Structure 1
């Protein structure tokens, strides 16, 4: 049985670990990097020649993507960062740049620059929005325009889309998709526990295969009633 929890339940489970100084993001990023490597391996594309484009937002999902990108860049992968938030996770960006990643210059036409970056990508990592956007999960502004523009490219069988925790634009609790401008994932790498929305339609249809990364929350969630239980 798969148990799906709300964003609030998972945040409450994370809280004591964060207060204790545990680096949950580092654990999540390591699991994400492993999942991306697995996707590259299935494409029969050596990691040293693979091109990965990170779509990063302002929150922790963007940080997870950047730290995973740092691991991939350190192993020789070509990693390119697209900034789609009002800010960026500074430590994650510093780690990615130090490992050899580059930031895509969005220039005068941001959407055209993003499409150009994605055209050569083997893997697109969706780290735009996370569970923190559950009150208003739809994409907006440049992020929405970019996702709308790259969806046809992402659908190519020669590319994989990896969503960080959940596809950006879906409600983590209800599975609602208030705006269909969502990048369908081949695989969603979720952390700590399944988000209830990933087990509910229509969000489940956008999530692809869901991979759960253990970051140490099982004891904290053991006595909590999940929102949804699925086979």
Structure 2
């Protein structure tokens, strides 16, 4: 049985933990890194020399991806990241660079740069948008163009896509796709509790296998009426 909650319910559950200074992002990133390693283990060319491309947006999902990338780079994975938002999570950026991750130089043709980086990746990590974009979940600008270009590459059986919390572009509450430019995930690693949009079509069809990482929110959601029970 899976209980799917709204973005606002999740954010309300997170608030006291964040106010107390609990490292929710680091807990989420550690769970994300474990899930990515599990994907490597299931692939023919696993772990040694494995390559990861992080698609990094402006919000906390980008930070989650960067901290997970730092763990992976520190353990010997080749990690590159493309900055597709208007800013980058500062602490996550510093951690990734310190661990040996490299920045994709977007240059004058960002879409080609991201596509070329993806051809060398065993796993593409979608950390562009998360529940913070629930009022306007559709991808825009360079991020949208990059995802549109990556969809054929991501469909290759030799490559896996891991979504951070939910595939970017999906409404976290309804599962709707305001724009069909969404990167289908093989695995979605979601944090704290299931988002309702991951249990409702068409969002569920893009989420792949959903892995829940416990970051300590479940007691706060006890007694909260979920949007959906799946």
Cα distance in 2 for partners of 1:173, 1:183 equals 18
Cα distance in 1 for partners of 2:179, 2:46 equals 36
Give the TM-score normalised by the residue count of structure 1. Answer: 0.99
Cα distance in 1 for partners of 2:196, 2:60 equals 19
1:170 alignment partner in structure 2: 170
- Alpha-carbon RMSD: 0.6
**Residues paired across the two proteins, number:** 230
1:66 alignment partner in structure 2: 66
SS in 2 for 1:124: strand
Give the TM-score normalised by the residue count of structure 2. Answer: 0.99
- Structure 2: segments with no counterpart, 5+ residues: none
Any idea what the Cα deviations from partners look like across 1:21-52, whole Å, max 9, x if unmatched? 10000000000000000000000333231110
SS in 2 for 1:163: strand
SS in 1 for 2:18: helix
2:194 alignment partner in structure 1: 194
1:182 alignment partner in structure 2: 182
- Structure 1: segments with no counterpart, 5+ residues: none
Paired residues for 1:1-231 under 5 Å: 1-230=1-230
Tell me how far 1:223 sits from its aligned partner: 1.0
Q: Check conservation: 1:47, 1:75, Cα contact below 8 A.
A: no
SS in 1 for 2:211: strand
Any idea what the Cα deviations from partners look like across 1:196-218, whole Å, max 9, x if unmatched? 00000000000000000000011
Cα distance in 1 for partners of 2:47, 2:81 equals 17
Cα distance in 1 for partners of 2:47, 2:133 equals 32
Cα distance in 1 for partners of 2:95, 2:212 equals 24
Question: What stretches of structure 1 move > 4 A for 4+ residues in a row?
Answer: none
Any idea what the Cα deviations from partners look like across 1:61-112, whole Å, max 9, x if unmatched? 0000000000000000000010000000010010000000000000110101
